[in-house]
Amino acid sequence: MRPQTKREEMPDELVLALGLVWGHLNARQFEQAYTLAKGCLRVWPHDRGLNLMHAYAAAEMLEPVNRPMLNSMATPDCKEWIELVLCRSHGTAATE
């Protein structure tokens, strides 16, 4: 998953937030990733990367995942990520 916006065009705080959430996910610290992403989404509610990572952390914690929101964000470069989130949250891959 890559952000649509180039790093140089993003606020430094958003770059840092994305890195911190990604680090928690990479360390399998899903509760921390979920909490941090949820807070960051209050500042950057339309950031695709944060929304996707928040959804993945939610799925790993067995929290509800907003399936219509995920499907609305589907692009060729993140289709597999969305399928993974939906698979982890419902036990089945996304269907189209």
pLDDT tens per residue, range 41-89: 999 999 999 999 999 999 999 999 988 988 888 888 888 989 999 999 8
pLDDT of 6 higher than 70: no
pLDDT greater at residue 6 or residue 61: 61
Amino acid 2: pLDDT: 54
**Block residue for tokens 């907003």:** 66
Distance CA 11, CA 9 (A): 7
pTM for this model (two decimals): 0.82
Q: Are 10 and 1 in contact (CB under 8 A)?
A: no
Domain ranges of the chain: 7-90
Q: Are 52 and 34 in contact (CB under 8 A)?
A: no
pLDDT greater at residue 79 or residue 27: 27
